[in-house]
Structure 1
Amino acid sequence: MTEKTTWRTRLTGALPATRESRIIALNALVGSTGTGLFLAGSALYFTRFAGLTATELGLGLGIAGLVGLATTVPMGRLADRFGPRNMMLLVSIWRAVGYIAYLRVEGFTEFLVTACLLYVMDRAGQPLNQALVGRLITGPERNRTMAFVRSLRNVGFTVGFGVAGIALNMGTATAFQVLFLGNALSFLVVFCLLWLLPDVRVPRKGTDDGEEGADTLVPPLRNWRFVAVTAATGVLFLHDAVLTVVLPLWIADHTSAPIWMFTVLVTANTVITVLAQVRVTRHIDDLASATRATTHSAVLLSLACLIFAASGVLDVPAWAVAALVVALLLLTAGELLHSASSWEISFALSPDAAQGRYLAFFNMGFSVAEIGGPAVMLWLLSRAGAVGWLILAVAFPLAAVLSWAGSRPRPGDPGQQPEPSAVPATTGS
C-alpha cells in the first residue's frame, strides 16, 4: 500500500499542479500534434495539388509571416482588453476555419490572402498562450507550466510528423487533405478545452483617481529595458536556426561525419527537451535567477559553437561525430536554460495591466529570429565557414550582457511587487 501511494505521489508530482495548468498543457499537446500533421505535408500539397511553385510558396509564406509579425502586438492589446482566454477562443476557431480554407486554394493569390489572414492568428497564438498562463497561474508553477507546454509541444510535433508519414507515403490529394482536416479538428478540440478555463482579467482602472490604467502605461517599444531583453532574446534564439537549418548543411558540406548524424542529433535534442525542460525551471523562479540562467545559457551556446567549428576540421569521422555530439549536448543545455529564463524575465518585466501587449512584443524577438535567423546564419557560414561559428560564439555573450542590462532588478519593477490578483470577468463585460 505504501509503495502504491508513493507511486501515485510521484506521478502526481510529475504532472502540472493545478487544473488550469493541466488544461493548458493538454492544449499544447493537442494543438502541436495537429500542427505537426499540417507542417509535414503542406509544402508538398501546395506545390503538387494547389498550383503553386516552390518560389510562390516561399514568397507567400514570407509575406504572411511579416503580416503576422506586424499584428502580434495589436493582438496582445486586444488580449489586455478582452482577456487572453477569450482571444484564444477566437484564435482557435479562426485557425480551424483557416486550415480548412487552405483546401479551397487554387493559385498564388488565393494562397497569399488565406495565408495572411491565418498568420495573424498563428503568430498571436504563442504570446496569447503565455499571457493566459500569466493570468491564471502564479508563483513557481507559472514557469513550470510553460516548461510543460514546451515539452508537450515537442511530443505533439513528433507524433504529428509520424502520423503524417502515412499520408506522405500514399501521395494522394485526399491523403494530404486529411492532414489539413486533422489540424483543423485539433483546434476545435483546443477551443473546447479553453472553454473549461475561467475568463480571468485584471480589473481595468480608470485614470480619474490618478491610478495608471492599461491605456496609459508606457508602450513596450518605448521601454528601453524591455526592448533590450527582447533584442537579446532574439539573438539567443538563433540556437533554433542552428539546430533546424544550419546543422544538416554543416554536417553534409563541412564535416567528415555521416549525414545521418543529423537525425540522431535532432532526435536526441527532442528527447532531452521533453525529459528535462520541466526540471530546468525548478531553480528559475525570479528575475535574479533568470538573469543568471541567461548568462549560463550564453556560455553554453558559445561553447557549442566553438565545438561545432572544431568538428569541421577533424578529418577522422569518429572524432567529428564525437565533437558533434558534445556540441549538441551543450546547445541543448543552453536552449533549455534560455527558454526557462526568457519566460521568467518576460513575466517579471511585463506590467500586469498590459501583460498581453508586452508578451506579444517580447515574442517578436523569437519571431524575427525565426524568420531572419536561417538566412543570416546560412549566409554567414557560406561566406566565412568555421569563422562564422566563432562570430556566433561572440554574439551570444554580447546578447547576455544586453539582457542583463535590461533585466537588472530595480525598485518598482512589476516583478518586484506583489502580483495583483486577477478577477473573473462578469458575464456582462
Structure 2
Amino acid sequence: MTPGVAATALRGRGSGPGDRADRARAGQLLLGTGIDSLGSGLSAGAAMLYFVTMVGLAPGAVTLAMSAGAVLGILTPVPVGRLADRYGLVRVYVGALVLRGVGVLCYATATSYPAFFAFTLWLMALETTTFPLQQSLLGAVFEEGARVRLMTRVRAVRSAAFGVGAVVAGLALASGSRSLVVALLMVNGASFLVLAWTVLLIGRAAPDAGAVAGSRTAAAPDAERSAPGRPVLKDLRFLGLCLSNGLLSLHETVLLVLMPLWLVVELGLSPALPGLLTALYTGLTVVLQLVLGRLRWTEAATGGTLLVSGAFLAAACLVCAVADGLTAAAWQVVLCVLAVVLLTVGENLQMVAAWQTVFDLAPPERRGEYMGAFNTGSGVQSVIGPTLTHRVVLPLGPAGWLLLAGLLGGAAIAFGSLAKGAQASRTARSEDQGANV
C-alpha cells in the first residue's frame, strides 16, 4: 500500500450520523435495503431456472430477452437522472421503485414468451436506474463524514440479504413447487414497494427536504443556478471516468462468468468449487465493507486507493495465470482461493473509492444525471464482459489472464489520472468563481 493511502486516505474512523434523527434515517435506509435485497436474491436465484424448467421457455429465448434488456439498461440511467435533477430525487426514485415492484408482480404471472420478453425489458431498463438514485439520495440526505460509512453498510447489508435470498430460492426450486417459486417472485415485487415507502419517509424527514424532493431550480443555490454544470455527455473527462470504471467493473464478470467456466471446464475441478468461492466472496465483502466504512476518505486518498485496487485486481489475474499453468489440483485450488481474496479486496476498494470520487466531482445540480452516467459503465461491461472473457481470455489460457491483468491495471491508472485532472479543474473553477464574487 502506498504511503498516500496509508497515511492520508485511511486517516482513522469516519464520523457516523451525529444525532438521533440521522441514525433513524440510516436505520430506515438499511432496513429497506435489506428487505429489497432479500427479495432481489429470491428473484435472481429463481427467475431464469423458473422460466426454463417450470414455464417451459427455451433457454436461448430467455437469454436473448436478458441481453436485450441489458442493452436497454445502458440507455436509461442518464435520462432518469435528469428527471431526478429536475423534478425531485425522491419523487423519481420512488416512482422507479414502484414501477419495478409492479413489473415484478406482473413478471411472476407471465406464462407466454411475449409477456416474458416485455416484462424483462421493463425490469432491466429500470434496474440500472435505482442504484445511482440511491447513491444520490444517500449523498443528499447525509453529511459528508457519514456518506462513505453508510454506503459501505448499505453494500454489506445488500450482500448478506441477497445471499440469503439466493439460498432460499435454490431450496424452492429444489422442491419443484411452481406456486412456491411464484410466491417468492411476488415477495420480490413487494420488497420494492417497501423500499419505496422507506425512501419516501427518509425524503420527507431530511433536513433539506427541498433539495431531494423539489426541482433543480428550487433546490440549487443562486450561485449554482447562475453557473450550472455541463451536461454529462459534454464532459469528456467524466465520460473517460465512466469508461475506465466500466473496464474496472469487469471483476464482476470475472467472478460470476469467467472463473466458474475456467475452474470446471478448463481446469477440470469440482463443480461445487465455484459456489464455495462465491460464498467466500460474499462473506469477505460484508466484512470489508464494514471495515472500509470506519475509515475517513479524502480526495487524495481515493485516487491512491483506486491505484491500489487496480493492483489487487491485476494480481488476482496473475495468480490465475500461474494456476492455469499447473497440473496439481490441490495447488490450483489454493491459488484460486487466493485469487478470489485478491479480487474481492480490489473490488471493494474500487467501488468505495470510485463512488466517493464521482460524488465529489458531480455538479450538485446535475448529480442524478452524473451518477446515472457513471453507472452505465457497469452496464456496458455486463454486455461485453461475458463475450470478452469467453471468446478472448479463456482460449488464450495464461496469456489471456495476463491480458486481463494489464487491462484492469491500465483502467485503474487511467481512472486515477482522469480523476486527478478533474479535481484540479474543479478547484480552479471554484477559485475563479470566488475571485469574481
When normalised by structure 1's length, the TM-score is: 0.87
> Distance in 2 between the 1:56 and 1:17 partners?
47
1:236-269 deviation line (CA, Å, top 9, x unaligned): 1111111111111111133364443322221111
Structure 1 match to 2:361: 349
Paired residue for 1:271, among 283, 306, 327?
A: 283
Q: Contact 2:22–2:142 at 8 Å: present in 1 too?
A: no
Q: State the shift of 1:226 in Å.
A: 0.8
Structure 2 match to 1:4: none
Q: Aligned pairs, how many?
A: 404
Q: Contact 2:313–2:346 at 8 Å: present in 1 too?
A: yes
Structure 2 match to 1:404: 416
* 1:3-402 superposed matches below 5 A: 18-199=23-204, 200-202=209-211, 204-205=216-217, 211-213=223-225, 216-255=228-267, 257-283=269-295, 285-402=297-414
> Distance in 1 between the 2:290 and 2:426 partners?
30
Q: Contact 1:352–1:414 at 8 Å: present in 2 too?
A: no
> Distance in 2 between the 1:16 and 1:258 partners?
50
Q: Contact 2:110–2:116 at 8 Å: present in 1 too?
A: yes
Structure 1 stretch displaced more, 73-82 or 215-224: 215-224
Q: Which runs of 5+ in 2 are unaligned?
A: 1-15, 432-437
Structure 1 match to 2:434: none
Q: 1:218 to 1:339 in 2, by over 3 A?
A: same
1:63-98 deviation line (CA, Å, top 9, x unaligned): 122222212111111111222222221122211211
Q: State the shift of 1:182 in Å.
A: 0.9
> Distance in 2 between the 1:414 and 1:23 partners?
39
SS at match of 2:66: helix
Q: Which runs of 5+ in 1 are unaligned?
A: 1-10, 418-429
Q: Quick one: percent identity of the two aligned structures? A: 29
Structure 1 stretch displaced more, 326-335 or 277-286: 277-286
Q: 1:61 to 1:144 in 2, by over 3 A?
A: same
Q: Contact 2:88–2:216 at 8 Å: present in 1 too?
A: no
Structure 1 stretch displaced more, 151-160 or 187-196: 187-196
Structure 1 stretch displaced more, 258-267 or 181-190: 258-267
SS at match of 1:198: helix
> Distance in 1 between the 2:408 and 2:156 partners?
24
SS at match of 1:52: coil
Q: State the shift of 1:366 in Å.
A: 1.2
Matching residue's letter, 1:129 = Q
Q: Contact 1:349–1:415 at 8 Å: present in 2 too?
A: no
Structure 1 stretch displaced more, 255-264 or 382-391: 255-264
Structure 1 stretch displaced more, 138-147 or 107-116: 107-116
Bigger relative contact order (CA 8 A; separation at least 6): 2
Q: State the shift of 1:347 in Å.
A: 0.3
Q: 1:121 to 1:227 in 2, by over 3 A?
A: same
Matching residue's letter, 1:29 = G
SS at match of 2:424: coil
Q: Contact 2:85–2:367 at 8 Å: present in 1 too?
A: yes
Q: State the shift of 1:118 in Å.
A: 2.3
Structure 1 stretch displaced more, 302-311 or 213-222: 213-222
1:381-419 deviation line (CA, Å, top 9, x unaligned): 2321111100011111211221122111315359989xx
Q: State the shift of 1:37 in Å.
A: 0.8
Q: Contact 1:297–1:333 at 8 Å: present in 2 too?
A: yes
Q: 1:303 to 1:215 in 2, by over 3 A?
A: same
Matching residue's letter, 1:279 = V
1:352-387 deviation line (CA, Å, top 9, x unaligned): 010000000000011111222122111112321111
When normalised by structure 2's length, the TM-score is: 0.86
Q: Contact 1:237–1:369 at 8 Å: present in 2 too?
A: yes
Matching residue's letter, 2:424 = R
> Distance in 2 between the 1:415 and 1:348 partners?
14
SS at match of 1:412: helix
Q: 1:166 to 1:415 in 2, by over 3 A?
A: farther
Q: Contact 1:228–1:405 at 8 Å: present in 2 too?
A: no
> Distance in 1 between the 2:63 and 2:429 partners?
41
SS at match of 2:202: coil
Q: Contact 1:287–1:407 at 8 Å: present in 2 too?
A: no
Q: State the shift of 1:217 in Å.
A: 2.9
Q: State the shift of 1:125 in Å.
A: 0.9
1:173-232 deviation line (CA, Å, top 9, x unaligned): 2122111111112112212222221243437449xx995539953111211221111111
> Distance in 2 between the 1:377 and 1:162 partners?
27
Q: 1:331 to 1:340 in 2, by over 3 A?
A: same
Matching residue's letter, 1:412 = R
> Distance in 2 between the 1:26 and 1:218 partners?
36
